[in-house]
A and B are shown apart, each in its own frame.
Chain A
Amino acid sequence: MSPSLRAAQPGSFQSRLALGLALLGLASCEFEPSVDPLRYELNDKSVPALRDTFSPARSDAVGAQVRGALEYLFGTPGDPAYLILEDWYDDDYDPNAGGGDEIDDEAFDEVKLQNLQRFAPQLELIRARRYAEVTEPRSAQDLWAIWLGDFLPALLEDPDAAYDEDDDSYGTWHEEALYLFESWYPSLRESADLYRRQCLHCHGTDGGGNGPTAEFLDPPPRDYREGKFKWIGVERNTRPRRDDLLSILMNGATFTAMPSFARFSRGELEGLIDYVRLLGIRGEVENLMVLEAVNEEYLPASAALEIYELVWEKWDAAEDNVVRPTGQLPMPDAVTDEMLAHGKELFLGTVANCYTCHGVDGRGNGDSIFEPDEDGNLVIRKDEWGNDSDPRNFHVGLFRGGNRPLDIYRRVKTGISGTIMPAADASLTDDDIWALAYYVLSIAEEHDVNRAYERRRAGLASADHGDGHGADTDSHGGSEDAGHDGDQDGGHEGEGH
């Protein structure tokens, strides 16, 4: 009998291998995805709110009613679709159609331009009239269904036949096939599919910022369901514009887990915006419906539609809430020492009150982020999502909502939604705020410890190093800075002169 045919003995190599594999199998079983990507759940506040108000059986019934209403208004993750309001029929407005109704011509031109790249392999085959070889593009299953259902059979029969014999405005099937891909704009279903691949693992099925990877992240991902977004160009706590969402998709949020999604085409990004808007509107409608049910002790049938219209109005009003400076933005070369000194004065003053949270030297270590709890111990104040407040440390020059003067202007002017960062005092003029913005930017310029290498290089390479900005180093650092950054700053000052 050869050794390999013997039954495995306890302690033999084979039995250990089998045991190891079995353990590995068990370990992998422990991971169960906590979310169902194809089913919207009631959110984590709705369920307790209903439980507190109603008996268990009644709370389940009202919960089911809310869920049913939401599905009626927004569809399911596998097939999201807005309910069309009567007014919209009259105005010929269809948020489900996407494209022309939602975005302006300029954006749609960009979508078309980038479709040429996105569908380059498909377009090339169509141009070469090799229709049967065209392969399915990613996240475009509705487009693909039209292609397989209508276009492919017609093209294989006669590509040069008229697409519509009764209407001259259409070309041949061949021409229309090219146009089909060139003018693609994602349906909500296609965008939901892309969302599930790219966004769901952090932001969750219903946009609650509760996907499977969310627990690893600090700061945690945005919860769309309140409709509150931080990095926006509109008034505090109002709903974002499409541009705001596009900007965060293109730029990401520096030093958070939100990366840039610039590798996707404009069409895909516009589609993601469509779907994030749907999730935002849906979440807020859910919150308000539960609130209504709790207040009225039942959910009136008419309430769902009223709430739906109300929330839509909020999102539609975004363009009216844009924060527009009136004073001219000074370019960096026009920034004077007086302006920075003015910014510093405001920063440390009691009107703007920046220093109370951001610290006297801008390290984000002010006292006002603390508050006493019930026992009188100091704890860090929370934002509306229950996370510790984390005022920006300007010494590292990282601004999550963008480092443009305009971005900082907006943060100062209207504050940050959902956080303890308040809107600026009304007595501050635009010039004041620009001065503050440049002062804040200049703090990083002076103190970012990561820039020692450039300073050394600049010190060796150019004689004019240290002019202008270098001159006011001592004016705001104070002795504490010298203690912290002594090596870096001292080094560059020394070598520069």
Chain B
Amino acid sequence: MRILFTLLLLVMTVLGVWTFIDSETFLFGPQPEGYTWWWPAEISTYGEDIDFLFYLISGMILVFFVLTEGLLLWFVFKYGAKRPDKGAFSHGNHRLEFLWTGIPALLLLVIAFSQMSTFASIKFRSAIEDEPVFCDIWGSQFDWRFHYPGADGRLGTVDDLQSPFELVVPDDQKIVMNLRSRDVLHSFFIPKMRLKQDAVPGMTFPIWFQADPEQVALESKNHFDIICAELCGWGHYKMSGRVRVVSRSEYEAWLEEMTAKQFDNGFEAD
């Protein structure tokens, strides 16, 4: 039994560390192009900041994971057997307690201060106060829909354009969007842009990202997955979308096409 549990913990530790070291293939061999077990390369202006925080925190976790798992393994192996004698009683050690409270507290402070400006610049409303709203996002079981302001530049009017599934954005501006849910909790997630925000029924979350044209140019395609990252019901798995990053002129051409479709007079078969 002792050996079994020790082995189990050892396997968990090794697998856990393996995901860090060998994330591209991880056990299953090479993945199709564009898919890995790790983050895909980021392509947004704030992606680098998010990645920095991610690696910082993941690194910390990796160190402590190996440390605690190693200790656990050692203790299970060394002291796992039943012994006839009574265990020694200890009142604890003040110095030790001071250390294991103080060090994590300091590390938490490091995390807290290093994320502050990034969080503020991405999540605070003040970051986008003066920006016009680019579009509305509606999540509902089980799809994403994007509402663009029509010719009058205002959302919520009769000339709004609706694009189900596909979010088309120009690469030269901040894309500010109002995120909403019609029914249950969803989470709007564009992995490539490092943007993730829960959608809560009855609430409006302004969110934003800006594509970095130079990084987009490095990609083999110009459209990227949008997914729902909050289990929202039985059809959660099929709640997907696509963000397509295009130049300003292509975007305007697309808008024109959408407008023509929206105000089709039906004289010809549509």
Contact = CB atoms under 8 A, between A and B. Distances in A.
Interface of A: 2-4, 121, 213, 216, 233, 241, 243, 247, 250-252, 254-255, 257, 259-260, 262-263, 319, 322-325, 328-329, 331-333, 335, 398, 403-406, 409-410, 438, 441-442, 445, 448, 450-451, 453-455, 457-458, 469
B99 interface: no
Contact of A454 (B150, B165, B178): B178
A445 B187 CA distance: 26
Interface stretch (B100-108, B115-123, B140-148): B140-148
A458 B1 CA distance: 68
B158 A441 contact: yes
A260 B139 CA distance: 12
B265 A329 contact: yes
A451 B155 contact: yes
Interface of B: 1, 4, 32-33, 82, 133, 136, 140-143, 145, 150-152, 154-160, 162, 164-166, 178, 180, 182-183, 204, 234-235, 238-240, 242, 261-267, 269-270
B127 to A, nearest CB: 15
A2 B2 CA distance: 10
Given A406-B266, A450-B204, 10 more contacts: A2-B1, A257-B235, A259-B143, A260-B143, A332-B159, A406-B264, A409-B266, A441-B158, A445-B156, A457-B133
Contact of A243 (B162, B261, B262, B270): B270
B235 A442 contact: no
Given A406-B264, A438-B158, A216 B180 contact: no
A262 B165 contact: yes
Contacts of A319: 269
Contacts of B157: 332, 445, 469
15 contacts: A4-B4, A121-B32, A233-B266, A250-B164, A255-B140, A257-B235, A262-B165, A263-B242, A324-B267, A329-B263, A332-B158, A398-B182, A404-B262, A405-B263, A454-B133
B265 A3 contact: no
Contact of A445 (B158, B269, B270): B158
Nearest to A259: B143
A391 B160 CA distance: 23
A216 B165 CA distance: 23
A257 B234 CA distance: 10
B164 A454 contact: no
A216 B82 CA distance: 53
Contacts of B269: 233, 241, 243, 319, 322
A328 B265 contact: yes
A256 to B, nearest CB: 9
A404 B165 contact: no
B49 to A, nearest CB: 27
B153 to A, nearest CB: 9
B92 to A, nearest CB: 30
A406 B270 contact: yes
A474 to B, nearest CB: 18
A442 B82 CA distance: 78
A403 B162 contact: yes
